[in-house]
Amino acid sequence: MKVIQITDTHFSPSKTHFNGNWAPLLDWLEAEKPDLIIHTGDLTVDGADKADDIAFCLDLMRQASAPMLIVPGNHDVGHLPGSHQPVNRERLDRWNGLVGADRFIHDIEGWRLIGFNSLLLGMGDATEEAQLDWLAEAMAEAGARRIALFTHKPLFVDEPHEGDTGYWSVRPAPRARLYDLMSRHDVGLVGSGHLHWAWAGEWNNTRFVWGPSAAFIIDTLEREMPGERLIGAVIHTFDAASVSSEIVAVPGMVAHVIDDVIDEVYPKPAVPDAGTSGEAAE
């Protein structure tokens, strides 16, 4: 079973900087003939406020022949409470209306693939609790299957038990609840996006893979992170009891550098907020 993970495509009908990467990515996807494509979020640049941006990106994604499951990113449904575009009911409803659910369960031989909305983690409300209940049930009902999780934000950046990384990863408190769930099940893989860095590592018998963005890398605008600056995708090959994940560059795709176009792609909000480092870039 060949599953290709793509992430952080950041296409847009008006900010067209990265749209040129879709044609080579689509060509490559068609040639690779995956059984399934999983998009781990940030389809858009401005989807958190503009339905047209989500619709535009969804139309592109539908050009792929293989079925595609999608979880949202912060550019699609908003981010942490107090940020410029916080996740809220309006934004989630916009996503649900255009794309569908923000989570999925997909069973294959030997495995249960579960996608969930990492932007709800840390909301501290009933929506977050409902998703955690759903996740607990989805994992408990996996039976003998191993579990692979897919979500936008990584659970950690440098260390599994590091402190709050702000915008970059899931915050320690909700992360502890995820770790608790994971410790009770056989989670072989966690695939994520968001960082625009490509990396793979292992902790507690779980493989963690950061998919490379299909749009841009970050040069010196933000701090160095583990892994490499790469534009591409991930090929996950699932066998009955194992998975191997290969991070690949995709021919013809351009490694745009966000530092060069940051002011065009992310104009400063009209009412400046507190300005958390990293808010603009990922």
Q: For residue 74, give the 3-state DSSP assignment.
A: helix
Per CB under 5 A, which of residues 8..27 are in contact with Fe ion? 8
Longest dimension (CA), the chain: 52
- Binding piece for Fe ion, criterion CB under 5 A, among 71-79, 136-144, 219-227, 264-272: 71-79
Tokens of 261: 């176009």
Q: Which of 8/53 has CB closer to Fe ion? A: 8
Rounded alpha-carbon distances, angstroms, from residue 162 to 58, 165, 173, 223, 276: 35, 8, 11, 16, 18
Q: Does 76 bind Fe ion (CB under 5 A)?
A: no
222 φ, ψ to 5°? Answer: -125, 175
- Binding piece for Fe ion, criterion CB under 5 A, among 3-11, 30-38, 49-57, 115-123: 3-11
Asked if residue 168 lies in contact with residue 199, where contact means CB atoms within 8 angstroms, the answer is no
Q: Which of 8/243 has CB closer to Fe ion? A: 8
Q: Shortest approach of Fe ion to residue 189 CB, angstroms?
A: 20
Tokens of 196: 């625009």
Please tell me the distance from the alpha carbon of residue 37 to that of residue 68, in angstroms, as a whole number: 5
Q: Shortest approach of Fe ion to residue 194 CB, angstroms?
A: 4
Which DSSP helix (H) or strand (E) runs through 206? strand 206-210
Q: Does 72 bind Fe ion (CB under 5 A)?
A: no
Site size with Fe ion, rule: CB under 5 A? 6
Query: Can you tell me which of 15, 94, 103, 194 binds Fe ion, judged by CB under 5 A?
Result: 194
- The structure tokens 């998703």 sit at 131
Q: Shortest approach of Fe ion to residue 239 CB, angstroms?
A: 30
Question: What's the distance, Cα to Cα, between the start and end of the chain in Å?
Answer: 30
Please tell me the distance from the alpha carbon of residue 77 to that of residue 11, in angstroms, as a whole number: 15
Q: Shortest approach of Fe ion to residue 245 CB, angstroms?
A: 19
Q: Shortest approach of Fe ion to residue 173 CB, angstroms?
A: 20
Q: Does 73 bind Fe ion (CB under 5 A)?
A: yes
Asked if residue 53 lies in contact with residue 91, where contact means CB atoms within 8 angstroms, the answer is no
- Binding piece for Fe ion, criterion CB under 5 A, among 11-19, 163-171, 186-194, 219-227: 186-194
- Binding piece for Fe ion, criterion CB under 5 A, among 55-63, 177-185, 199-207, 274-282: 274-282
Q: Which of 111/168 has CB closer to Fe ion? A: 168
Q: Which of 9/131 has CB closer to Fe ion? A: 9
Q: What size, in residues, is the chain? A: 282
Query: Can you tell me which of 21, 74, 169, 192 binds Fe ion, judged by CB under 5 A?
Result: 74
Asked if residue 211 lies in contact with residue 5, where contact means CB atoms within 8 angstroms, the answer is yes
- Binding piece for Fe ion, criterion CB under 5 A, among 24-32, 51-59, 134-142, 187-195: 187-195
Per CB under 5 A, which of residues 38..67 are in contact with Fe ion? 42
Tokens of 28: 């490559």
Q: Which of 128/282 has CB closer to Fe ion? A: 282
Q: Does 282 bind Fe ion (CB under 5 A)?
A: yes
CB atoms within 10 A of CB 81: 12
Q: Interface with Fe ion by CB under 5 A: which residues?
A: 8, 42, 73-74, 194, 282
